[in-house]
Amino acid sequence: MVNVIVLFPKIDEARSIKNLLIRNGINVTKVCTTGAQAAQFADSCDDGIIICGYKFPDMLYSGLADMIPDYFEMIVVTSKRNYEDCRESGVVCLTMPLKSQDFVDVVTITIDNLLWERKKRKKQPKERTEEEKKIIKAAKLKLMNEYHYDEQSAHRYLQKKSMDNGLNIIEMAYMVLNDSGFF
C-alpha cells in the first residue's frame, strides 16, 4: 500500500479530493490542512504521495517539497498562473480546472511508479558494514587455514551452511569463528 496524503488549506477541498480518490479505488492515508502536518506524517512513512495545492497556511508547496523524505512524490494542483513556477521545480503539476478522470489517472500512474521504485529498492543487496565484512573475511581465513579451502570455496561453504541452517551469512561466520560444530 502506498501512503497517500491529501493536503489543502480548506478541509472541504481536502475531503472532496479524498472522496474522489476513494471512489476510484485509491486509499487515502491522511488528510491535512497545513504543510507541517503533512511533513510530520510523511516522516513516519517510508514512501508515498502528497497531493496538494500551491499554498498552505504555513508554507508554499516548495517548502514542503524540501521537507519531505526522498521517496515521496508530490502532485500539485494549481492555477494556470502558478503552473510555470511549479513545473520548473520538478514536481508533478496539474492545472485547474481539471477532469476527474485525468486527475485519477495521474495519481494511479504515480502510485504505480512508487510501487515499482519500492520493488527496485528491495531487490538491491543490502550493503554490509565494515565490521560484517571483517567477520566474514575472518571466517573465510579460518576455513582456508584449517581446512585448506581456497577463498571462493570458503565463501561458498559459508553461504551453503547459512542457507542449510536458516541463518544469514554473518551468523554463520560467527559460528565458524566460535567453533560451534558446523563442520
Pair 164, 93 in one domain? no
We report the CATH number of the domain holding residue 33 as 3.40.50.2300
pLDDT tens, position by position, 166-175: 889 999 999 9
Average pLDDT for the chain: 91
Pair 142, 104 in one domain? no
Pair 97, 116 in one domain? yes
Asked if the model's pLDDT at residue 182 lies above 80, the reply is no
State the residue range of the domain holding 166: 130-177
State what percent of residues in the chain have pLDDT above 70: 98
Residue 37 lies in a domain: yes
pLDDT tens, position by position, 10-27: 999 999 999 999 999 999
Q: Hey, which residues does 77 pair with through a beta bridge?
A: 94
Whole-number pLDDT of residue 170: 93
pLDDT tens, position by position, 130-142: 999 999 999 999 9
We report the CATH number of the domain holding residue 160 as 1.10.10.10
Pair 117, 64 in one domain? yes
Pair 44, 100 in one domain? yes
Pair 81, 141 in one domain? no
Pair 70, 102 in one domain? yes
Pair 81, 109 in one domain? yes
Mean pLDDT of 36-43: 93
Residue 67, Cβ density class (10 Å: 0-12 exposed, 13-18 middle, ≥19 buried): middle
Pair 139, 111 in one domain? no
Pair 8, 90 in one domain? yes
Residue 182 lies in a domain: no
Look at residues 107, 91, 109 and name the one whose alpha carbon lies nearest to residue 21.
107
Whole-number pLDDT of residue 121: 83
Whole-number pLDDT of residue 41: 93
What is the DSSP code string of the chain?
A: --EEEEE-SSHHHHHHHHHHHHHTT----EEESSHHHHHHHHHTSSSEEEEE-SB-SS-BHHHHHHHS-TTEEEEEEE-HHHHHHHHTTTSEEEESS--HHHHHHHHHHHHHHHHHHHHHHHHSPPPPPHHHHHHHHHHHHHHHHHH---HHHHHHHHHHHHHHTT--HHHHHHHHHTT-S--
Whole-number pLDDT of residue 183: 56
Whole-number pLDDT of residue 112: 95
List CB contacts of 92: < 8 A, sequence separation 6 or more. Answer: 73, 74, 75, 76, 106, 110
- Cβ atoms within 10 Å of 147's Cβ, excluding its own: 12
> What is the number of structural domains in the chain?
2
pLDDT tens, position by position, 80-109: 888 888 877 878 999 988 899 999 999 999
Whole-number pLDDT of residue 21: 96
pLDDT tens, position by position, 54-81: 999 999 999 999 999 888 999 999 988 8
* Overall pTM surpassing 0.85 (yes/no): no
Pair 68, 10 in one domain? yes
Q: How far is CA 5 from the centre of its chain?
A: 15
Residue 183 lies in a domain: no
The CA distance from 16 to 26, in Å, is 13
For residue 125, give the amino acid letter: P
